[in-house]
Structure 1
Amino acid sequence: MRKERRGHQSTVLLAAMAVVFTLALVIYPKVGYEAGMQGLRVCWEIIIPSLLPFFIVSELLLGLGVVRGFGVLLEPLMQPLFSVPGVGAFALSMGLAAGYPMDAVITARFRQTKQCTRIEGERLLAFTNTADPLFMFGAVAVGMFKSPALGALFALAHYISSFLVGVAFKFWGRRDPDHLKEVKEREEVRPKGNLFARAYREMLTAREEDGRPFGKLLGNAVSESVQTILMISGFIVFFAVVIEILEVSGIMGVLGWPLMEVYRLFGIHAGLVQPTLAGVLELDIGSAQTAAVPAPLIQKLALVSGIIAWSGLSVHAQVASVLTHTDIRMRPYVLARFLHAALAALLTVVLYGMGVGRTAQGVMAHWAHHLPALAPAMEHGGFWETFAHTMSNSLELWLGIFAALTAASAALLLLRRIRVVAFFVRSQG
């Protein structure tokens, strides 16, 4: 009875919000139109050319069985670290390359094809929901803060905190009976033998189970990807209009009053209240507003890092829409975003205090000769040129990230092996 009453209350609340928003569009038609056009420009110049190719390629790789084959090869790494199948590495890599919500699209496909359990899907979403390097280096560091060296600061804080969230969520739902049952059934049918031979057989099996001719597979990949990209674009336009309406109507100021008191208590600049609320809704707008506020730099950097990790309700709505046809829950995803945002902000402060981002003329000085060209390239929609330029000049960063993750992985694996040996010795004794 209580659950039914709660459902009725939420229905009334959502209906009231929809009516108020409709009236606001009638009162402020010009504001809504201009915000919608701005959102459409973002979709046409950035979102569609950057995400659509990745969506199509991922569908092809899934249909051809390549993902399942690589999943077998990467199982020894992903399982001990994050307690997810090896195919999770594909969601992680595509999320790194394309950003939000690529990881959710791939994870949903894994769940629909029974390549992961519900719990494993929730663990995957917890740490694969990352921003792409182009956004942090080009749009945020260069475009918003006019400082190429800050890209390394944002990227290191973002990816290290994401790794820590993945390790923490390794224990999420580990005693869930349905999860344990599915894992046991998967272990019973898993083929034995050489790792590479198993990967090859799994790839062929996945291709046979799909069964679609390549022409049909390509056509379905394009049509499904276009449908997904239109859905994402719709959310971006909608939230762009919502934020503008909230600001013009003064509602944003009312919502920000409690937050202003909290910021005042902790000595945080009051001008960051409005960008924080905007960042809760949409990360691009929130990040841009934060960079423009005349507040202490360290506070702005921590807030932007937290906003990028939180990713905004706009991205959350996209993820929820993608997960509609699965049993993966949103609650662990939202909890992971809170944890990711807090860790990213904290790591930003720590790394900045260690000199990362402040040594633009030192360790990262060579970036100044390469990255200033990114801002005009972004403005003129030169996505692929910008992406190639960024990747070709970020070798040191990626080597550093890879080395740090490899060292952490080796330490965790060694600790796990020591625990197994200690348990064996105790049992024998």
Structure 2
Amino acid sequence: MKILKLTKYFFPKFIVFFLIIGIVIFPETSIDAAKNGIHIWVDILIPSLLPFIIGANLIVSLKVVDILGYIINPITKFIFNVSGKSALVFAISAVSGYPVGAKLASDLRLKKDITSKESQRLVSFCSTSGPLFIIGAVGIGMLKNDNLGYLMLICHYLGAITVGLIFRRYGHEKRYKTESSMLNNIKSIINTPAEEGFFVSFGNSVINGVNTLMAVGGFVIVFSVVFNILTSFNIINFISSMLCIPFSVLGITKEVCSAFLSGLFEITIGCNNISNINAISEPIKATLCSFIIGFSGLSILAQCCSFIGKTDINTNLYIFSKFLHGIFAGIYTFLFYPLFQTYLPTSNFSFIYNSVYNNKAFDCYFNNFKIFLIITVILYIIFNLYFIYKIKD
């Protein structure tokens, strides 16, 4: 028992010390890795996540989630054994991507809008990637096949739903029908005066959104540096060699194992490394990328756990649910690939994606996102100064 306690105490310290030594020994590698992490954060994560995070925070604070939650509550209670407002977290996460779903679920638990068991069921399937990353970055940008991106997107959501169904009975908690009618509940929300005005809610949403993205950027940069240090010490090379031995029977090479390991640290780097390997077929590439996106990688897991850790949600069980998500997403992608090649009507999904993302508003935003970023930072500073002034009063 004493050895176990000593290991738990000293192991994290040893890891931190080891990484600091690595930064000192390989300064150029660390700087290049940090630059790469900053590039991913500024050019990919900020433009794709910032509006969704601010919008999601605003929707929650204005109680839009509560109203819509009562409307869809009967469906979500029957399927996932969660409340309607919980299921809306899945919809927002599905549109925006990591780590929005985990953050919103944590916020609902911190406000005690949902129980501990329900929040555990919620994070099991409401932490997903978004269409912009799966179709745009991976499908079109990396695998050069937008239709393959739609297949991976469908399988990603199917994997999340499957995990949600598995966790449906977690906690043996049953949701009982409330005595009040849906209309009475909605009237009660409307008639209840808001604790904060619109501009205060908007200011809080901007501040929380920017703070969240700052944390996300920090995690991406740190894990980018960590992976490159481990590579410089040949630790990744050693693990790849060990993994290659049992999987060599299946034709998996050391290069594939190394690319897959990079995805377990950071999904963008991993998916890009897998897409650049010529020795494996397209369905294997898609399957491995689907697992990595479903599992989300240590970088995103750390981001999500930083929010979940503030609540009584079990982080180990959350990580296990993400592992299951990756397994199911990969299996579905591999099984549905032949069907997708001949029968899947991806044009229907393409129309939905184009109507939501490929429009003038989004084109304007992505072409000028640095201007929007400057405006957001200015608003962030103004509202911070405003709240500091109010606290002094």
Could you state the TM-score of these two structures normalised by the residue count of structure 2? 0.84
Correspondence 1:325 to 2:310:
yes
Matched-pair contact (CA < 8 Å) for 1:279–1:307: yes
Matched-pair contact (CA < 8 Å) for 2:241–2:254: no
The one of 195, 199, 223 equivalent to 1:239 is 223
Percentage identity across paired residues of the two chains:
28
Q: Aligned residue for 1:140?
A: 138
Shift of 1:348: 0.9
Matched-pair contact (CA < 8 Å) for 1:148–1:367: no
Matched-pair contact (CA < 8 Å) for 1:247–1:253: yes
The one of 185, 193, 200 equivalent to 1:216 is 200
Q: Distance in 1 between matches of 2:65 and 2:48?
A: 21
Shift of 1:273: 0.3
Q: Distance in 2 between matches of 1:78 and 1:7?
A: 43
Q: Aligned residue for 2:60?
A: 62
Q: Distance in 2 between matches of 1:171 and 1:157?
A: 23
The one of 12, 28, 31 equivalent to 2:29 is 31
Q: Aligned residue for 1:316?
A: 301
CA distances 1:165-186 after superposition (whole Å, capped 9, x unpaired): 11111011216xxxx7xx67xx
The one of 192, 198, 209 equivalent to 2:180 is 192
Q: How does 1:282-301 map to 2 (within 5 A)?
A: 282-294=266-278, 295-301=280-286
Q: Aligned residue for 2:168?
A: 170
Could you state the TM-score of these two structures normalised by the residue count of structure 1? 0.78
Q: How does 1:16-415 map to 2 (within 5 A)?
A: 16-174=14-172, 190=178, 192-193=180-181, 195-205=182-192, 208=194, 211-294=195-278, 295-354=280-339, 356=340, 358-359=341-342, 364=346, 384=365
Matched-pair contact (CA < 8 Å) for 1:49–1:383: no
**Is the partner of 1:252 in helix, strand or coil?**
helix
Q: Distance in 2 between matches of 1:215 and 1:368?
A: 37
Pick closer, same or farther for the CA change 1:250–1:227 going to 2, 3 Å. Answer: same
**Is the partner of 2:171 in helix, strand or coil?**
coil
Aligned residue identity for 1:352: Y
Q: Distance in 2 between matches of 1:235 and 1:93?
A: 25
Pick closer, same or farther for the CA change 1:383–1:49 going to 2, 3 Å. Answer: farther
Pick closer, same or farther for the CA change 1:123–1:363 going to 2, 3 Å. Answer: closer
Shift of 1:259: 1.3
Pick closer, same or farther for the CA change 1:166–1:154 going to 2, 3 Å. Answer: same
Q: Distance in 2 between matches of 1:122 and 1:359?
A: 39
Aligned residue identity for 1:201: S
- Say what the alpha-carbon RMSD is for the aligned residues: 2.7
Aligned residue identity for 2:29: V
Matched-pair contact (CA < 8 Å) for 1:126–1:336: yes
Q: Aligned residue for 1:391?
A: none
CA distances 1:266-301 after superposition (whole Å, capped 9, x unpaired): 343442100111111111111110111121222211
Matched-pair contact (CA < 8 Å) for 2:89–2:101: yes
Aligned residue identity for 1:215: F
Matched-pair contact (CA < 8 Å) for 2:47–2:366: no
Pick closer, same or farther for the CA change 1:383–1:307 going to 2, 3 Å. Answer: farther
Pick closer, same or farther for the CA change 1:255–1:112 going to 2, 3 Å. Answer: same
CA distances 1:103-129 after superposition (whole Å, capped 9, x unpaired): 011001110111111111111111111
Q: Distance in 2 between matches of 1:289 and 1:29?
A: 23
Q: Name structure 1 gaps, 5 residues minimum.
A: 372-376, 387-429
Pick closer, same or farther for the CA change 1:127–1:245 going to 2, 3 Å. Answer: same
Matched-pair contact (CA < 8 Å) for 1:40–1:237: yes
Matched-pair contact (CA < 8 Å) for 1:70–1:87: yes
Q: Distance in 1 between matches of 2:347 and 2:308?
A: 43
Shift of 1:220: 1.9
Q: Distance in 2 between matches of 1:317 and 1:138?
A: 24
Aligned residue identity for 1:24: G
Matched-pair contact (CA < 8 Å) for 1:46–1:383: no
